[in-house]
Structure 1
Amino acid sequence: MLAQIRSIDSNFGRTNGGLNQNLDSLPENEINVKLSGKTKYTDYKIISHKNDTTIVDTTLTIQKEYKFNFLRKDNFELLAFHNQGQTFNNLAYDFTNISQFPDIGFKAKLFNYFDIEDVNYYQVPTPTTEIMYRTGLEQGQVVDALFTTNFSKRFNLAIAYKGLRSLGAYRRSLASTGNFRVSFKYETPKGQYAIRGHAVNQDFFNQENGGLTATSLEAFVNDDPNFSGNRGRMDINLNDAENTFDAKRLYFEHTFKLLSSKDSLQEREFSNLKLGHSFIRDSKFYRFNQGTATTDIFGDANSSGSINNKTSYLLYNNQLFIDFNSKYVLGRFRVKSDLSTYSYGYENLQNNTVGITKNKLKGDAVSFGADWNGRIGNFYVNASGSITPGIGRLSGNRLFGEAFYKKDSVLTIKGRVGISNKSPNFNFLLHQSTYNDYNWENNFAQIGTHTLGGVIESKWGNISVDITNINNYTYFNENSKPVQFSGDVNYLKAKVSKEFILGKFALDNTLMYQKVASGNSVFRVPEFVTRNTLYYTDEWFKGKPLLVQIGATFKYFSKYNANAYNPLLAEFTLQNDTEIGYPTVDLFFNARVRRTRIYFKADNISSFALDKNYFSAPNYPYRDFVIRFGVVWNWFI
C-alpha cells in the first residue's frame, strides 16, 4: 500500500516520474516499530522502475477499498468475469503508455502479468513484510506475500509471491495463477557504481468452458429456480478445454559514474556523467489444450484427437546509455541505443492443410533514443523518444512528452502528447492451430497512435481528458480473424472525480464519458461509466483502537456491444448480437487495527432485485451475490 512522497535521486539516472505526485497524509505513528537514532516511518521506501519513491502505507482509505482485488489495482475501467483469476472485458482503453515493440499477444491472459514497470525495489531500515489474503469463489483464495530487507544501507533484497486458486461457481472455470518476483539493488559506498535488477516467473492457468449453452443461457436470464442455487448444474460449451500462459524474465541495469561535482553552497551533487547498460531476457509461452476437437464451436480440425497448440516468444534486449545531469541545462538527459533480437512462433507447422509456410518469425533491430527530464520551480517537463529504423517487424518510432505544474497538494495541471508507430502483436501476424480456421500469416501495416490529453487535480476535484487517433487499428472480427481497419478510429475519454465529506460520512464519485467519433463499428466502449461510493468512517471503542469504514458502492455502465471472449485465442473479438450494460451494488465493512486492515465485502447484492441480465461478455454471466473476506497485514521486525 503506497502513498506518494518525494523522489530520490538514485544512481539509475531517472527522474521523479512525472504524473504520479499525489500525497496522502500519513500520521507519524502509523508504523509502530522501535527505531534507533533518527529513523522515521518515511524511511520505509518503495522505489518504482522510474524511481518514483513511495512509502509503506498502513492507512485505511477508500482508494484501498477500490484496490482490494486480486490485481491490487483500481479496476474502474474493467469488467471482471465471475471468478477471480479469470480475464476482464474493457470498459475503457488507455493509450498513454504504449510499448516500444510488439509483444506475443494473447492479451486476455495478461491482466495479472507483472511487467518491468510493475516490479518494485525497496529501502528499509528493518526487515519488512506484507501479507495480503482474500477468499476465492467456491473454493480457494489469493495470497500476495512480500519480504524485503536491507543487508546494509546500500544493498536491498526483496522476495514476493502472489498465488491464486479459485474454483468458480460454474463448471470448468478453475483459475490458478502464480507470480514470483525477486528484486535487488546495490551501490558502492561512494555511489560510483550501482546495479539493480529482478527475476520474475509467472504462470496463468484457466479451465475454459466457452460460456453457457443457449438452453442454460435462457435459464439464467429467466432466473430458473432449478439453477439459481447451484450454477454448477448449468451446461457449458466446452468440457475439456484449458489454456496456460507462462512467462520468465531476467532484468538488470547498472551504471558507472564517470564525472560528478558538488554544489559548494548546498553541499549536493549537481552534475554528473554516467555510463550505463541494461539487459532483458523475456520469454513467454501460450498453450491451448483440449481433449477432443469441438468443431461446432471452432470449426473443422485437422485431427480427431487431442488439441495441443503451443506458441513461444523470446526477446533479448541490450541497451547502452549515457546520462548527463546539470543545473545549467535544466535537467537530466539520457542518450540510449538498443540492440533487440526476437523469435516468435512454433516448433513445427501445426496444420499441413491450410497453406501456412512459416512456423517462426525471427529478426533483430537497432534503436536510438533520448530522454529529457527537467524542472524549473514548480514546473516539470518529461520527454522520451526512440526510433527503430528499417523495415523489420520491430521498426517504428515512439515519442511521449508531458509537462505539468504542481503547487503543493492544492493544484496540479498536466498536459501530455504521444505518438507511436509499431507493428501489431505477433499473434496478429502469425498464428497456427489444429483448427483450420485459426491459421494465418499476415503482413499488416504499422499501427499509428496519436494521443493528446490533460489532467487537472485539485482539492475541488479531478478532471482528465484524452483524445486518441488510431490508424490501421488491428482487431479480431466476428469470425475471430485478424483485420486492420481501413479508416481512422477517433476516441474521446473524459473522466471527472470528486469526493464530498460531511463529518464522518463521505460520498466519492467518478464519472467517465466516452465517444468514438469514427470507427465505432470496430472500436466499442460504453458511453457512460459511473461509480459512486457512500461510506462512513469512525474510530470505535475506548482509546480508539479500531478504525472502521462502512459503505456501499454503486457502479453502472451504459449498454454497448461488448466484445466476446474467445478462449482458443485468449483474445476478445467483435460481436453484434448482444448488448451489455447494467448497475451493480456492493456493500463493504472494512476495519484497521494497528497495522492490519480487514475487509468484508458483499459483491453484487443488487442481484436479488434486478433482472438476470448481468454479463461480463456474451454467454459469460457476471458473478452472483457472494461474500468475500480479506486482510492486509504489515510486519516491521
Structure 2
Amino acid sequence: MQAQTDQNSQFDQYGNQIDPAMRTQKDSSNVEVQSVPPKLYMWNVSEELGTVLPIQVDTLFHHFQNTNLVEGVKGHYNYLGNLGAPRLSRLFFERPQASESMFIDPFSSFYQNPWDFKFTNSNVPYTNLTYYKAGSKLDGEERFKSYFSVNVNKRLAFGFNIDYLYGRGLYNSQSTSLFNGGLFGSYIGDRYQAHLVYNNYYMKMAENGGITDDRYITAPEEMAEGKKEYEASSIPTNLEETWNRNKKFYVFLTHRYNLGFTKKASGVENDTVDRYVPVTSFIHTMKVERASHRFISNSEPEDFYSNTYINTGSLVSNDSTTYFGIKNTFGIELMEGFNKYAKAGLTAYISHKYNRYNLMNSDSATVDKYNEQEVFIGGQLSKRQGNVLHYTINGEAGMLEKAIGQFKLKGDLDLNFRLWKDTVSFIARAAISNTLPAFYLRHYHSNHFYWDNEFDKEFRSRVEGELNIQRWRTNLKAGVENIKNYTYLNQNALPAQAGENIQVISATLNQDFKLGILHLDNEVTWQKTSNEKILPLPQLSLYHNLYIETKLAKKVLSVQLGADVRYFSKYKAPAYTPAIQQYHLQADDDQVDIGGYPIVNVYANLQLKRTRFFVMMYHVNQGMMSNANSFLSPHYPINRVC
C-alpha cells in the first residue's frame, strides 16, 4: 500500500510566474483573502550543457501502483526478487553502457543521475511525501521518499530530497537497506541561470547467492520430507554472512551567463511588456563524484568461486575499490531565436575529465592506483522553439590520452503535424560512437576476480524511429543497432569482447483502448539478436492492463480498479554473481531457461485531490499453474503473494 501527497503550481518555459488569479471579497465587517492557487513548473537539465528541458509535472495517478516495482512500471527488468535489488532490463535498447562507477549501475531503480533530477519552481512551497509498505514485519518491504522545494522569489528556488528503503526479503540473507539524501537549488534569471545538485548514497545489501536447488520452487514434492510447498525462509541458499556495500556522492553544478538586449514592447496583444532577448550564452558545467565498493564474506561454500587471488586474513573475502572523478565543461552558445534569421542554436564546447581509481593488489599490502584523463571538444546544433519541428545534433571527439580516437555523435528530431482531426508526432533518433569500455571492465582486482584487459574500442551505431498518434492511443517504435567489439561478462563472469559484429533489431507497439469506463492498455515488444549466445534476449515481451476508471464522491475521488499482467518468452537470462555485483552469461554447466511465466497483479488505485494511494496484491497467480519458470533471474525466485 502506498500514499502520496503533493502541492503544485505553474510557470512558463522561461521560469516566469504566471499571474495568479487572486480573488478578494470585502464587506463592511471583514476582509477575506483566498489563497493563491498553487502552480508548479518542473524540468530536467541536460548532461553536457545544462540546457533546461521541461517535463510533465508528476501528479498523474495512472500506473501509480507500479512505481515502486523494481521490475519497472511495465515489467521490463530482471532482478533478484527483493525491493532495491540489482536489476537488468530485458529490452536491449533500455540498457545504458557501463559507467565509471559500474557497481552502482544495477541499482537504477533507486540511484538517480543529476540530469534525471526534477527541479521545480512554484508560487507556494511544494512538498511530495511518499510511503510504500508491503508484507509483514518479518519479510516486508518499506520505502519513504520526501521531496521539498520552496521559492525565495520567482527565480530562486531550493530544497532537499530524502529516499530510504528497507527490504527484509522473503528468503534468507536477502535484505536491502538503501539511503539517499540530497540538496538542490536553481536560479532562472534573464542573464544568469544556475542549477546545483548534491546527493549522497549509501547502499547495503545482503547476498544469498540464490537458492541451492530450483526444485524447492519448481518441484517441491521431489525434495526432502515430501513437502508440496516450502516456506520461503526455510529454503536453503548458497551464501550467508555476505554483504555488498556501495557509497557514492556527487555534486553537479551547471550555470550560464547570457548576453543580449532588451526588446521594447510593441503594444500588440502578444507583446505588451519589455523582455530580455539572450544572444550569446557562456556555459560552465561541473560534476565531482566519489564512489566506493566493498564486498565482505564470512562464509563461502567450497568451489562456489573458481579462483582465489588474495589472502584477506580473517575474512573469506574483503574486497574494496574506490573511484574519484571530476569533469568540467566550458561552452559558448549562439542562442536560437534572437532574430528572424537565427532558426537554430549553435554551441561549441570543450570538456576535461580526471578519473582516479584505487584497486587491491595481489600482495594485499599495497594499493594499485590508476589515473586517467580525457579531453573532448564538441559542438551542438539545436532547434527547440516552435510547434512543428525540433531537433538536436551533438558531436564530440577525444583529444588527449585515453580519449584519443574516441568520438560520439547523436541526434534526435521530432516532427508534429495535424492529420485530419488528430495530432501526429514522428520522432527519429540516431547515434554513432567509438568508445573505450568502462574502467572496471578493463581493470579490477579482488579476492575471486582479477583482471587487467587491453580492450579495443567499442563501435556502436543505432537508428530508431517512433510514431505517435494521439487520438488513436497508438505509439509504434522500432530500431536497429550494430555493435563491433561488444564488451560483456562471459560465462565465468569475466569481461570479454565479441570477435564479430552483433546486430539487434527491436520493435514496440503501445496500443490502448477505451470503451466508456473500461480501459485496456497494451504493450508488445519484439526483439532479435544476431548472437543469442553472447547477447541473449527474449524475443517477445508483453504488458497488459485491464481496468475501469471513474470518479466518485461528487467527482472528487478518481478510482481505477483492475489487473495487469507482464510476460516474456523463455531465454537464457543473465545470471548474477555477488562478488562483482553484476549480471553475466550463465555458466556452461548451469544453463536454465527463464520466462514463459506470467506475473499477474490486481490493484485499486485512487486519487483524492492532491493525495494518491493504492492497494495492490502482487503475483496473485501463484500456485494456479506450474511454477517451473517463476524466476526473474536464475536461481532467484519471484516473490510470493504479498
Q: CA deviation at 1:394?
A: 7.7
Contact 1:403 1:415 in 2 (8 A): yes
Q: 1:114 to 1:377 in 2, by over 3 A?
A: closer
Distance in 2 separating the partners of 1:425 and 1:390: 17
**2:592 partner amino acid:** T
Worse-matched range after superposition: 217-226 or 78-87: 217-226
**1:500 partner amino acid:** F
State TM-score, norm by structure 1. Answer: 0.86
- Structure 2 spans left out of the alignment, 5+ residues: 1-5, 22-31, 47-51
Instruction: Give the corresponding residue for 1:519.
Output: 531
Q: CA deviation at 1:268?
A: 4.7
Worse-matched range after superposition: 304-313 or 240-249: 304-313
Q: CA deviation at 1:318?
A: 1.0
Instruction: Give the corresponding residue for 2:512.
Output: 499
Distance in 2 separating the partners of 1:624 and 1:413: 42
Trace 1:333-348 onto structure 2 (pairs within 5 A): 333-346=346-359, 348=360
Spell out, residue by residue over 1:448-503, the C-alpha distance to the aligned partner (whole angstroms, 9 max, x if none): 11100110011221000111111111111111111100011100110001110001
1:125 has 2:133 as partner: no
Instruction: Give the corresponding residue for 2:27.
Output: none
Q: 1:96 to 1:574 in 2, by over 3 A?
A: closer
Q: CA deviation at 1:573?
A: 1.0
Instruction: Give the corresponding residue for 2:550.
Output: 538
1:622 has 2:638 as partner: yes
Distance in 2 separating the partners of 1:121 and 1:391: 36
Aligned with residue 331 of structure 1, among 344, 367, 371: 344
Q: CA deviation at 1:96?
A: 8.8
Instruction: Give the corresponding residue for 2:287.
Output: 280
Trace 1:231-270 onto structure 2 (pairs within 5 A): 231-262=232-263, 265=266, 266=271, 268-270=275-277
Contact 1:255 1:276 in 2 (8 A): yes
**2:594 partner amino acid:** I
Contact 2:70 2:109 in 1 (8 A): no
Instruction: Give the corresponding residue for 2:159.
Output: 158
Instruction: Give the corresponding residue for 1:17.
Output: none
Q: 1:433 to 1:467 in 2, by over 3 A?
A: same
**1:134 partner amino acid:** Y
Instruction: Give the corresponding residue for 1:608.
Output: 623
Spell out, residue by residue over 1:172-222, the C-alpha distance to the aligned partner (whole angstroms, 9 max, x if none): 00011012221101245xx322221110101221100000113xx222211
Aligned with residue 219 of structure 1, among 212, 216, 229: 216
1:291 has 2:287 as partner: no
Spell out, residue by residue over 1:577-633, the C-alpha distance to the aligned partner (whole angstroms, 9 max, x if none): 10111111111111122211111111111112021221121111111111xxxxxxx
Q: CA deviation at 1:227?
A: 7.7
Q: CA deviation at 1:104?
A: 3.8
**1:176 partner amino acid:** S
Instruction: Give the corresponding residue for 2:331.
Output: 321
Distance in 1 separating the partners of 2:608 and 2:111: 31
Q: CA deviation at 1:360?
A: 2.5
**1:533 partner amino acid:** N
Contact 2:410 2:430 in 1 (8 A): yes
Could you say which structure has the larger radius of gyration?
Answer: 2
Instruction: Give the corresponding residue for 1:597.
Output: 612
Instruction: Give the corresponding residue for 1:635.
Output: none
Distance in 2 separating the partners of 1:512 and 1:376: 32
1:87 has 2:86 as partner: yes
Instruction: Give the corresponding residue for 2:379.
Output: 370
Worse-matched range after superposition: 233-242 or 357-366: 357-366
**1:406 partner amino acid:** N
Distance in 2 separating the partners of 1:153 and 1:424: 44
The alignment partner of 1:410 has SS state of: strand
Instruction: Give the corresponding residue for 1:387.
Output: 397
Worse-matched range after superposition: 417-426 or 47-56: 47-56
Trace 1:70-149 onto structure 2 (pairs within 5 A): 74-94=73-93, 102-105=100-103, 107-137=105-135, 138-149=139-150
Q: 1:557 to 1:2 in 2, by over 3 A?
A: farther
Aligned with residue 310 of structure 1, among 312, 317, 320: 320
Contact 1:2 1:57 in 2 (8 A): no
Q: CA deviation at 1:257?
A: 2.0
State TM-score, norm by structure 2. Answer: 0.85
Q: CA deviation at 1:402?
A: 1.1
Instruction: Give the corresponding residue for 1:569.
Output: 580
Instruction: Give the corresponding residue for 1:403.
Output: 413
Distance in 2 separating the partners of 1:170 and 1:240: 14
Distance in 2 separating the partners of 1:591 and 1:376: 36
Instruction: Give the corresponding residue for 1:8.
Output: 13
Q: 1:220 to 1:66 in 2, by over 3 A?
A: closer
**1:130 partner amino acid:** N
The alignment partner of 2:215 has SS state of: helix
Instruction: Give the corresponding residue for 2:41.
Output: 45
Q: 1:474 to 1:36 in 2, by over 3 A?
A: farther
Q: 1:566 to 1:351 in 2, by over 3 A?
A: farther
Distance in 2 separating the partners of 1:598 and 1:145: 15
Q: 1:98 to 1:403 in 2, by over 3 A?
A: farther
Q: CA deviation at 1:230?
A: 1.9
Q: 1:2 to 1:402 in 2, by over 3 A?
A: farther
Instruction: Give the corresponding residue for 2:3.
Output: none
Instruction: Give the corresponding residue for 1:421.
Output: 434
Q: CA deviation at 1:379?
A: 1.0
Q: 1:2 to 1:206 in 2, by over 3 A?
A: farther
Q: CA deviation at 1:319?
A: 1.1
The alignment partner of 1:600 has SS state of: strand
Distance in 2 separating the partners of 1:600 and 1:509: 22
Q: 1:57 to 1:340 in 2, by over 3 A?
A: closer
Q: 1:293 to 1:218 in 2, by over 3 A?
A: closer
Q: 1:280 to 1:111 in 2, by over 3 A?
A: same
Worse-matched range after superposition: 105-114 or 472-481: 105-114
Contact 2:182 2:200 in 1 (8 A): yes
Distance in 1 separating the partners of 2:196 and 2:111: 18
Instruction: Give the corresponding residue for 2:49.
Output: none
Distance in 2 separating the partners of 1:197 and 1:244: 27
The alignment partner of 2:426 has SS state of: strand
Contact 1:102 1:422 in 2 (8 A): no
1:452 has 2:463 as partner: yes
**1:250 partner amino acid:** V
Q: CA deviation at 1:235?
A: 0.8
**Backbone CA RMSD of aligned residues:** 2.9
- Structure 1 spans left out of the alignment, 5+ residues: 12-27, 29-34, 627-637
Q: 1:573 to 1:380 in 2, by over 3 A?
A: same
Q: CA deviation at 1:292?
A: 3.8
Contact 1:172 1:207 in 2 (8 A): yes
Distance in 1 separating the partners of 2:154 and 2:131: 30
Distance in 1 separating the partners of 2:414 and 2:526: 24
Q: 1:68 to 1:242 in 2, by over 3 A?
A: closer
Q: CA deviation at 1:294?
A: 4.0
Contact 2:11 2:121 in 1 (8 A): no
